[in-house]
Structure 1
Amino acid sequence: MTQTTDLRGIVPERGTRNGPGGRMLALILLGQFMAILDVNIVNVALPTMRTDLHASGSGLQLVVAGYIISYAVLLITGARLGDIAGHRRMYHLGLASFTVMSLACGLAPSTWPLVAFRFLQGAGAALMTPQVMSMIQRNFAGEARARALGLYSAVIAGGVVVGQAAGGLLVSADLFGTGWRTVFLVNVPIGAALLLAGPRLLPRDESPRGGDLDLPGLATLTPAVLLFVVPLILGHELDWPLWGWLSLAASAAFFAAFVAVERRVAARGRRPLISVRVLRAPRLAPACVALLFGPATWGAFLFTTTLHLQGDLELSPLESGLAFVPSVTAFGLVGLNWRRLPARWQRRAVPSGFALAAAGYLCVGPLADGGAPYLILTAVIGFGLGVMPIIMTVALEHVPAEDAADASGLLLTLMQIGQVTGVATVGTLFLTMAEDGGSTRHAEYGTGWALAAVAGVGAVCALALARGRAEPRAER
């Protein structure tokens, strides 16, 4: 990692392994862990939720995607609010909102209130999680920052592992007859504990930058994403009505308007949601493209495979959750150990990883009967997608501290938009094929080919990251 002049002046003792920075890092990463956990713990509960709430396939997609949509759309705004009002303050506000909405989700009486609470829960996560990356960027430097980012990647992988296993365990245990509700209620005591510890462990906000929000950008980006995702989710159950196609066309118009609005905001000397200056950082633009495709395949793979494992294969929620452990364990191992590779191999690992994941997805259909080969297959996919932390590190290594909030918000937004697009498109393909063929095994073939195609495109885009030589690290 390179080290900028700005970073050297940011309380260096916080970056030591044994100093107060260790406790601060543990607290903010636990908040990040809870947000990631909530995405993945819900997947395992979907079949039980479908039975208990009589939810449709599109209703289940919205339970998953509703959280991710609001999370994705508001992440950059959440990062900007951290700059304006203070990262500590926004972390606490987001954590409190997330915790309250987790309680509301756990008590939801039917599908549509649950979907609404999930949107609001995602908004809380969007306030909280950008502060994690920003506080790491601002409070850690050199190798300490590299270690912190490595732990950040491990937390993301760990949230997936624990989410799948804990979701299955909680649903199978059916504590006090609560069934799927515990996958949301488990957040409440964790969030309360973090809120109590935060005032003592988080550093005080030092001179927030001030400024204003890009409300015109937010007002055009939000409908652009919603108009794109909602018809993809609802279309297959409503027989692709005319309004869905009109919605997709309107989405394209809103995305064009968003670009025009952002240019106008920048021309007036204000800070747009997506800054051209941030995009000009070395290798950030190709990293952004790659970060759309990897999470798209991963989110869709979790959604469709869970329905298959608890559908045709008739696995219990716990068994289906544990089936993902090899995949996310492999993801975590790569994320924690990729720095051991020679420098010239590190960037080349990104397109290679995407290609490996694509090869694994091609085997999803032929190995859909489950068993040990299927578990090995999930590990291969996780090993391939384990290169995601490399992409994030390469993207951020030349971003100065003053742009940390914008860069982290942009990267996290793209990852979430990738996930929701994967669930909406490939998830719809799976549900349509399962309904037409009367079998989730049949649907797994089409899903595997679609996921392989997306991962293949990601591999081609990631070739730009593999070009050139690795930059030397700055002296500590």
Structure 2
Amino acid sequence: MTMARPSRATDDRRRWRALAVCLTAGFMTLLDSSIVNVALPSMERGLGADAADLSWVVSGYALTFGLVLVPAGRLGDLRGRREAFLFGLALFTLASVACGLAPGAGWLVLFRLLQGAASGIVAPQTTGLIQQMFQGAERARAFGMLGSVVGLSTAVGPPAGGLLIEAFGTGDGWRWVFYVNVPIGMAAFVAALRLLPRSPGSAGERDGVDLPGVLLLGTGVLALMLPLVQEQEWSGRLKWALLPLAALLLAAFWAWERRQGRHGRAPLLDLTLFSVRSFTLGVLLNLVYFAGFTTVFFVYTLFLQNGVGYSALAAGLASLPFAVGSAVGAAAGGRLVVRHGRRLVIVGLGGVAVGLLAVVGAVEVVPGRGVAWATALPLLVAGIGSGVTISPNTTLTLARVPVRRAGAAGGVLVTAQRIGSAAGIAVVGAVYFAHLAGRGTPSAALQLGLLTAVGIIVIALTLAIADLHERRTHPQPAPPTAERAPSQEPDPTH
């Protein structure tokens, strides 16, 4: 007995250190989706990049990131999440070096596409490894830490990019936005080799690579996301013709996956996951909430720089209250979700809506350069609400997913985030720019954009309240004991 205790303590420490490696890689890859925004003027000067090039530097990363999530998650389930994580991390680090060394705008766009794909390989392995390494309340706590990383990486990107441009100059400062990934990526790779657990893959499915499913899903997601991420750059309405094509391709993907299941073949995505109410609702909530949440930084930083005259660094720093609140809220949410379940998500969504409405009021009351101080407290409240939304919803969404499907399920969850973010920016951005084009004031344009984002978040809040009511009237049985830790408290999805 005395010999077993140190061994278990050592195993616990190893698991939490492995989680730290996953979160470090996750933070780095998510940060790269927002840190480049403030470096775009530097790229324009240093490379002579035009508007189309700059658009693809941002949107190309989002496209390839979203395209590979589900196939990469399935690959991790089949071949081993450790191996897929290491491959994605190495590819991301090398792509960062290539981006920093890019001799021209075309090369930079190409390497950004590669970097986005590598990020999409890493993301589902993180959720899958958490499912694999933790159970019960520990799993909820781990997802709380992941939620903190998501919130922090989204909000910290602009000030981090501003600091690097300030330190290395506007000519070549943009290169250091990518170089900063290299030492972090190398250290994380070495630590991952030592700490990440091996997983043998899914027994009996090692030859199951659903190539038609990969093609149908990839083209469907591409057709869906392309007009959304290029909404401002592609003029005219013809781009929206891709949306019916996307619906057709995704319907064909669904039919193909059902056929795969009926014939006993390994599908790319196990459609029985969507018969689990907590998973289906969690994915839908993720999609809707991220459509409202990520648009806040898009219109707020534009307003501060173009409407008020803030520098890129000052505009980035103005979003830090949200980042701090998000980290605090996510950590608390990870500890409380097992006890409070879906009610916690409702509280979080309400906090985000109230905080953003307060931002709208602060912009009206305190116009001019003092606006960042006036919105600091409302953004802190909204950030806490966001943290209390993201990490508990992740825990609840994946609570009933079998560990052997965790990678693909995590890929679906993050894909919903990416599609929601692209759709939200397209909608809120259209409202913001349309008001400016009609000779409206920047503050009024920001207020209308934020009210649109609040409306989207209220839709997510309505879904969560309806689900809680449904659970109270038609409770579900607890998940199988094989998926629960002996010390786990009552099922958090109730």
Question: Contact between 1:45 and 1:167, CA under 8 Å: does it hold in 2?
Answer: yes
Question: Contact between 1:78 and 1:409, CA under 8 Å: does it hold in 2?
Answer: yes
Cα distance in 1, alignment partners of residues 178 and 185 from structure 2:
11
Q: State whether structure 2 residue 423 is matched by structure 1 residue 421.
A: yes
Cα distance in 1, alignment partners of residues 98 and 361 from structure 2:
41
> Which residue does 2:121 correspond to in 1?
127
Cα distance in 1, alignment partners of residues 151 and 319 from structure 2:
11
Cα distance in 1, alignment partners of residues 404 and 45 from structure 2:
49
* AA at the equivalent of 2:400: H
Q: State whether structure 2 residue 343 is matched by structure 1 residue 348.
A: yes
TM-score (norm 2): 0.84
1:99 aligns with one of 75, 79, 93: 93
How large is the RMSD of aligned CA atoms in angstroms?
A: 3.0
User: What displacement does 1:338 show?
Assistant: 2.6
> Which residue does 2:33 correspond to in 1?
39
Paired residue total: 464
* AA at the equivalent of 2:375: Y
Q: State whether structure 2 residue 441 is matched by structure 1 residue 447.
A: no
> Which residue does 1:4 correspond to in 2?
none
Q: State whether structure 2 residue 218 is matched by structure 1 residue 222.
A: yes
Cα distance in 1, alignment partners of residues 446 and 170 from structure 2:
35
User: What displacement does 1:302 show?
Assistant: 1.9
> Which residue does 1:381 correspond to in 2?
382
Q: State whether structure 2 residue 242 is matched by structure 1 residue 247.
A: yes
Cα distance in 2, alignment partners of residues 223 and 440 from structure 1:
38
* AA at the equivalent of 2:149: V
> Which residue does 1:293 correspond to in 2?
288
Cα distance in 1, alignment partners of residues 268 and 118 from structure 2:
18
User: What displacement does 1:455 show?
Assistant: 0.9
2:208 aligns with one of 207, 212, 218: 212
Question: Match of 1:377, SS?
Answer: helix
User: What displacement does 1:236 show?
Assistant: 4.3
Cα distance in 2, alignment partners of residues 13 and 83 from structure 1:
28
* AA at the equivalent of 1:295: F
Change (3 A) 1:409 1:227: closer
Question: Match of 1:461, SS?
Answer: helix
User: What displacement does 1:365 show?
Assistant: 4.9
Cα distance in 2, alignment partners of residues 344 and 28 from structure 1:
26
Q: State whether structure 2 residue 58 is matched by structure 1 residue 64.
A: yes
> Which residue does 2:309 correspond to in 1?
314
> Which residue does 2:3 correspond to in 1?
none
Question: Contact between 1:58 and 1:233, CA under 8 Å: does it hold in 2?
Answer: no
Change (3 A) 1:95 1:146: same
Change (3 A) 1:255 1:156: same
Q: State whether structure 2 residue 194 is matched by structure 1 residue 195.
A: no
Deviates more, 1:47-56 or 1:75-84: 47-56
Question: Contact between 1:327 and 1:383, CA under 8 Å: does it hold in 2?
Answer: yes
Cα shift readout 1:410-468 (whole Å, capped 9, x = no counterpart): 21221122122223332344344434437543431331222122111111112244333
Cα distance in 2, alignment partners of residues 381 and 89 from structure 1:
38
Question: Contact between 1:14 and 1:20, CA under 8 Å: does it hold in 2?
Answer: no
User: What displacement does 1:320 show?
Assistant: 1.5
Change (3 A) 1:13 1:25: farther
Mapping of 1:81-96 within 5 angstroms?
A: 81-96=75-90
User: What displacement does 1:235 show?
Assistant: 4.7
Change (3 A) 1:364 1:250: farther
User: What displacement does 1:17 show?
Assistant: 7.3
Cα distance in 1, alignment partners of residues 139 and 230 from structure 2:
43
Q: State whether structure 2 residue 30 is matched by structure 1 residue 19.
A: no
User: What displacement does 1:405 show?
Assistant: 1.9
* AA at the equivalent of 1:379: L
Cα shift readout 1:339-381 (whole Å, capped 9, x = no counterpart): 5659674422323332332344445555444232222232232
Change (3 A) 1:58 1:15: farther
Cα distance in 1, alignment partners of residues 360 and 77 from structure 2:
47
2:327 aligns with one of 326, 332, 337: 332
> Which residue does 2:486 correspond to in 1?
475
Residue identity (%)? 36
User: What displacement does 1:297 show?
Assistant: 1.8
Deviates more, 1:78-87 or 1:379-388: 379-388
> Which residue does 2:490 correspond to in 1?
none
Deviates more, 1:416-425 or 1:116-125: 416-425
Change (3 A) 1:411 1:224: same
* AA at the equivalent of 2:211: L
Question: Contact between 1:70 and 1:122, CA under 8 Å: does it hold in 2?
Answer: yes
TM-score (norm 1): 0.87
Cα shift readout 1:4-60 (whole Å, capped 9, x = no counterpart): xxxxxxxx9778675322322222221112112212322333454456556666654
> Which residue does 1:397 correspond to in 2?
399
Cα distance in 1, alignment partners of residues 159 and 257 from structure 2:
42
Change (3 A) 1:61 1:83: same
* AA at the equivalent of 2:446: E
Cα distance in 1, alignment partners of residues 50 and 449 from structure 2:
20
Question: Match of 2:308, SS?
Answer: coil
User: What displacement does 1:227 show?
Assistant: 2.2
Deviates more, 1:256-265 or 1:339-348: 339-348
Deviates more, 1:360-369 or 1:175-184: 360-369
User: What displacement does 1:283 show?
Assistant: 1.3
Change (3 A) 1:143 1:349: closer
> Which segments of 5 or more consecutive residues in structure 2 lack a partner in the other structure?
1-5, 488-494
